Structure 1
Amino acid sequence: MMIQERLKQARKAKGISMTFMAEKLGYKSASGYANIESGHTKLSLEAAKHIAEILDVELDELFFKEKLHV
Protein backbone atom coordinates (compact mmCIF):
# COMPACT_ATOMS: atom_id res chain seq x y z
CA MET A 1 0.00 0.00 0.00
CA MET A 2 1.32 3.43 -0.91
CA ILE A 3 1.91 6.18 1.64
CA GLN A 4 -0.99 8.23 0.32
CA GLU A 5 -3.37 5.29 0.75
CA ARG A 6 -2.13 4.63 4.29
CA LEU A 7 -2.62 8.30 5.19
CA LYS A 8 -6.16 8.36 3.82
CA GLN A 9 -7.06 5.06 5.46
CA ALA A 10 -5.70 6.13 8.87
CA ARG A 11 -7.44 9.51 8.68
CA LYS A 12 -10.79 8.00 7.74
CA ALA A 13 -10.48 5.28 10.39
CA LYS A 14 -10.23 8.04 13.02
CA GLY A 15 -13.16 9.95 11.49
CA ILE A 16 -10.95 12.98 10.83
CA SER A 17 -11.66 15.34 7.96
CA MET A 18 -9.12 16.81 5.56
CA THR A 19 -10.15 20.24 6.84
CA PHE A 20 -9.25 19.25 10.41
CA MET A 21 -5.89 17.87 9.27
CA ALA A 22 -5.18 21.03 7.27
CA GLU A 23 -5.97 23.25 10.26
CA LYS A 24 -3.77 21.21 12.61
CA LEU A 25 -0.90 21.39 10.12
CA GLY A 26 -1.28 25.15 9.59
CA TYR A 27 -2.75 25.15 6.08
CA LYS A 28 -5.34 27.77 5.17
CA SER A 29 -7.58 25.29 3.35
CA ALA A 30 -8.23 21.57 3.10
CA SER A 31 -6.46 21.49 -0.26
CA GLY A 32 -3.14 21.95 1.56
CA TYR A 33 -3.59 18.60 3.24
CA ALA A 34 -5.27 17.05 0.19
CA ASN A 35 -2.04 17.68 -1.71
CA ILE A 36 -0.21 15.55 0.85
CA GLU A 37 -2.66 12.66 0.53
CA SER A 38 -2.53 12.86 -3.25
CA GLY A 39 1.28 12.87 -3.28
CA HIS A 40 1.65 16.36 -4.76
CA THR A 41 3.40 17.74 -1.67
CA LYS A 42 6.55 16.21 -0.23
CA LEU A 43 6.70 16.10 3.54
CA SER A 44 9.46 17.08 5.87
CA LEU A 45 10.23 14.68 8.69
CA GLU A 46 8.71 17.15 11.15
CA ALA A 47 5.44 17.32 9.16
CA ALA A 48 5.36 13.52 8.93
CA LYS A 49 5.82 13.26 12.71
CA HIS A 50 3.05 15.80 13.26
CA ILE A 51 0.66 13.88 11.01
CA ALA A 52 1.42 10.64 12.86
CA GLU A 53 0.74 12.43 16.17
CA ILE A 54 -2.57 13.84 14.96
CA LEU A 55 -3.68 10.44 13.67
CA ASP A 56 -2.33 8.71 16.81
CA VAL A 57 -0.34 6.13 14.83
CA GLU A 58 3.31 5.21 14.71
CA LEU A 59 5.40 7.12 12.18
CA ASP A 60 6.74 3.96 10.60
CA GLU A 61 3.24 2.52 10.26
CA LEU A 62 2.28 5.42 7.98
CA PHE A 63 5.43 6.19 6.08
CA PHE A 64 7.50 3.02 5.81
CA LYS A 65 6.78 -0.32 4.17
CA GLU A 66 8.21 -2.26 7.08
CA LYS A 67 8.28 -1.54 10.77
CA LEU A 68 11.47 0.21 11.87
CA HIS A 69 13.51 -1.44 14.58
CA VAL A 70 15.33 1.17 16.61
Structure 2
Amino acid sequence: MATATDKKINWAKVRKKRESLGISQAFISRKMGYKYSSGYSNLEKGMVRLTAEKAAILAEILHCKQEDFFK
Protein backbone atom coordinates (compact mmCIF):
# COMPACT_ATOMS: atom_id res chain seq x y z
CA MET A 1 0.00 0.00 0.00
CA ALA A 2 1.40 3.40 -0.97
CA THR A 3 1.84 6.03 1.68
CA ALA A 4 1.31 9.76 1.19
CA THR A 5 5.06 10.20 0.80
CA ASP A 6 5.10 7.66 -2.05
CA LYS A 7 2.50 9.60 -4.04
CA LYS A 8 3.42 12.34 -6.48
CA ILE A 9 2.10 15.81 -5.87
CA ASN A 10 0.10 17.27 -8.74
CA TRP A 11 1.94 20.61 -8.89
CA ALA A 12 -0.11 21.76 -11.89
CA LYS A 13 -3.21 21.50 -9.74
CA VAL A 14 -1.52 23.27 -6.83
CA ARG A 15 -0.40 26.08 -9.15
CA LYS A 16 -3.90 26.42 -10.63
CA LYS A 17 -5.41 26.64 -7.14
CA ARG A 18 -2.81 29.23 -6.08
CA GLU A 19 -3.41 31.34 -9.18
CA SER A 20 -7.20 31.11 -8.85
CA LEU A 21 -6.88 32.57 -5.36
CA GLY A 22 -4.60 35.33 -6.63
CA ILE A 23 -1.75 34.27 -4.35
CA SER A 24 1.83 34.91 -5.45
CA GLN A 25 4.73 32.52 -5.08
CA ALA A 26 6.52 35.21 -3.06
CA PHE A 27 3.64 35.35 -0.55
CA ILE A 28 3.65 31.59 -0.07
CA SER A 29 7.45 31.59 0.25
CA ARG A 30 7.28 34.10 3.10
CA LYS A 31 4.51 32.18 4.87
CA MET A 32 6.49 28.95 4.58
CA GLY A 33 9.55 30.60 6.09
CA TYR A 34 11.72 30.82 3.00
CA LYS A 35 14.02 33.81 2.71
CA TYR A 36 13.54 34.09 -1.07
CA SER A 37 10.59 33.44 -3.35
CA SER A 38 12.66 30.81 -5.14
CA GLY A 39 12.12 28.60 -2.07
CA TYR A 40 8.52 27.96 -3.03
CA SER A 41 9.16 28.25 -6.76
CA ASN A 42 11.55 25.30 -6.56
CA LEU A 43 8.85 23.25 -4.83
CA GLU A 44 6.29 24.07 -7.50
CA LYS A 45 8.80 23.11 -10.22
CA GLY A 46 9.34 19.76 -8.50
CA MET A 47 13.01 20.46 -7.83
CA VAL A 48 12.65 20.17 -4.04
CA ARG A 49 10.59 17.75 -1.94
CA LEU A 50 7.69 19.10 0.06
CA THR A 51 8.03 18.26 3.77
CA ALA A 52 5.03 17.39 5.91
CA GLU A 53 5.44 20.64 7.83
CA LYS A 54 5.51 22.74 4.65
CA ALA A 55 2.58 20.76 3.20
CA ALA A 56 0.47 21.69 6.22
CA ILE A 57 1.31 25.37 5.76
CA LEU A 58 0.58 25.22 2.03
CA ALA A 59 -2.78 23.54 2.60
CA GLU A 60 -3.72 26.25 5.09
CA ILE A 61 -2.74 29.03 2.67
CA LEU A 62 -4.67 27.43 -0.21
CA HIS A 63 -7.71 26.62 1.97
CA CYS A 64 -7.65 22.92 1.12
CA LYS A 65 -6.62 19.55 2.53
CA GLN A 66 -3.16 18.10 1.98
CA GLU A 67 -4.78 15.12 0.26
CA ASP A 68 -5.99 17.50 -2.47
CA PHE A 69 -2.38 17.90 -3.64
CA PHE A 70 -2.37 14.30 -4.89
CA LYS A 71 -5.65 14.19 -6.82
Q: Which has the higher contact order (CA 8 A, sep 6+)?
A: 2
Task: Map 1:10-49 onto structure 2 (within 5 A).
Answer: 10-49=17-56
More helix by share: 1
The Cα RMSD (Å) is 1.1
What code does the residue aligned with 1:60 have? E
Structure 1 runs of 4+ aligned residues shifted over 4 Å read none
Q: Which runs of 5+ in 1 are unaligned?
A: 66-70
Describe the SS at the equivalent of 2:57.
helix
Residues in 2 aligned to 1:18 and 1:54: alpha-carbon distance in whole angstroms: 11
Output the TM-score relative to the length of structure 2. Answer: 0.81
